[in-house]
Amino acid sequence: MNTENAVRVRFAPSPTGYLHVGGLRTALYNYLFARKNNGVFVLRIEDTDRTRYVEGAVENLIQTLRWAGLEFDEGPEKGGPKGPYIQSDRIALYQEHARRLLEEGKAYYAFDTPEELDEMRKLQEKTQAPLKYDRRALMLSAQEVQQKLAAGVPAVVRLRVPDATTVAFDDLIRGRVEFSSDQIDDQVLLKSDGYPTYHLANVVDDHLMGITHVIRGEEWLSSTPKHVLLYQYFGWEVPQFAHLPLLLNPDKSKLSKRQGDVAVEDYRSKGYLREAIINFVAFLGWNPGDEREMFTLEDLVKEFSLERVGKSGAIFNVEKLDWLNFQHLRRKPDTEVLAMLREHLKQSSLANRNFDDAYLLSVIGAMGERVTFVRDFVEKSGYFFQAPNRYDPDVLKKRWKPDTPQKLRRLIEEFSLLENPQREDYESALLRVARSLELKNSELIHPLRLAVSGVGAGPGLYDILFILGKEETHRRVVSAIERLSQLT
């Protein structure tokens, strides 16, 4: 491991769209490892595959990382001593290193057309031969190679893998990993357009940027022997590797967009809190070794270690994410929830309605134990924001009787006598009316709740009445009597 400086790690996404939750986990683990070890967290954009480049993706990646609280120390926009941090600005570096490998016989030119490569693969499949490049280009003489290059025949540069060799490395999560060189393909390092493949660019950059630990997904494990060979060919120190477990759907299939949302942006737009997403993603492979489940980013920095990252696939369970969102929302100060609720109202059909802070804080207090998302304040208790325009038919059928209007008229008469009523005043008034009419309390409570909210469940009825106030309660009961009398 490079001991010249502090721990240096990197997150190196490709700008192909939104940030995948798997990418967020990789970024998070790198960030946590850097912070825990007083190291440096580098953001590098790997954009050498121009066919997959998406306009605006770099800006979105950076914005999403910052939204999640994962601020990088070096990278695009911020700069740093090891830049540039966008690979398309480093092409000359990769070409120079490819030439060095060619000169030393550790790589070679290949001139095969896509059609020839396709024909080669089909033959290998038919004969059940190993699916890798058959090295036909090595049969060309040095003179033939130079003639083709001089004639402008499109050429790639391939890694020359040594024969009958074992390539081994120690993985911080998986232990000792060994590959026979017979299983390793002569990977393309430099494409015919002069752009490097991931394999060359990432090794060159990791070395030149002083990366000490390469923390990335398990899907790169099979490529690592090629990278180890490149480090050896260049005479460079090999960094420590840590390959994170795959993310799986509940049915154990690999997490993919075909089975649901995989972009962080999808979950953010649905109203998930950054704290919940970070907490959830941290547990996709790591655990603290005890029963604790609630962690802030600061908590994770203190607790995280690669030793507690497992090898087996991590199940992506949205129900657990929902539970964490509920818990983190409950932990937030009411003033912070108020700001988020106001922002939600501003984006909703209620944007033109004015609610003062005291009113909204009362709603937050009443609904705090019943909401998973900020949007639930409106979706689950819309009656706090506008009078009901429909009434739950099942509740109506069960709770609204022919004599209910008469009972409710008597109740709102009693309410009208109250001055500046508190919760307990509404309760006392209802009990008095129930006694005078010789009714069970429930014979007033249930239809009254239906009249003021349109539904049959929610926070305490007297909390609802107190929040709505005497005048609004009166209006809603009168309106319900008129409308429901016509329906029934």
Query: How far is the C-alpha of 61 from the C-alpha of 49, rounded, in Å?
Result: 17
Sort residue 17 into left (φ over 0), alpha (ψ -120 to 50) or beta: left
Query: How far is the C-alpha of 215 from the C-alpha of 289, rounded, in Å?
Result: 21
Beta bridge partners of 178: 168
Contacts of 48 (CB under 8 A, 6+ apart): 87, 88, 91, 94, 195, 196, 197, 198, 201
User: What are 337's two structure tokens?
Assistant: 């929830």
Helix axes of 461-468 and 470-487: crossing angle, nearest 10 degrees: 110
Contact 370, 380 (CB under 8 A): yes
Contact 209, 83 (CB under 8 A): no
Query: How far is the C-alpha of 42 from the C-alpha of 31, rounded, in Å?
Result: 9
| Strand 247-248 versus strand 40-43 pairing type | unpaired
* Catalytic hit among 254, 257, 270, 398: 257
Angle at 406 between CA 402 and CA 411, to 5 degrees: 130
Query: How far is the C-alpha of 359 from the C-alpha of 386, rounded, in Å?
Result: 13
Annotated active-site residue 257? The verdict is yes
User: What are 164's two structure tokens?
Assistant: 């009958």
Tell how far CA 336 is from the center of its chain: 22
Q: Which amino acid is at 21?
A: V
Which of 138, 140, 146 minimizes the C-alpha distance to 163?
138
DSSP single-letter state for residue 471: H
Q: For residue 446, give the 3-state DSSP assignment.
A: helix
What's the Rg (C-alpha) of the chain? 32
DSSP single-letter state for residue 270: T
Contact 93, 203 (CB under 8 A): no
User: What are 176's two structure tokens?
Assistant: 């000792």
DSSP H helices in 318-422: 318-331, 334-346, 357-367, 376-379, 393-399, 404-416
Q: Which amino acid is at 467?
A: I
User: What are 225's two structure tokens?
Assistant: 């022997």
- Residues annotated as catalytic are 257
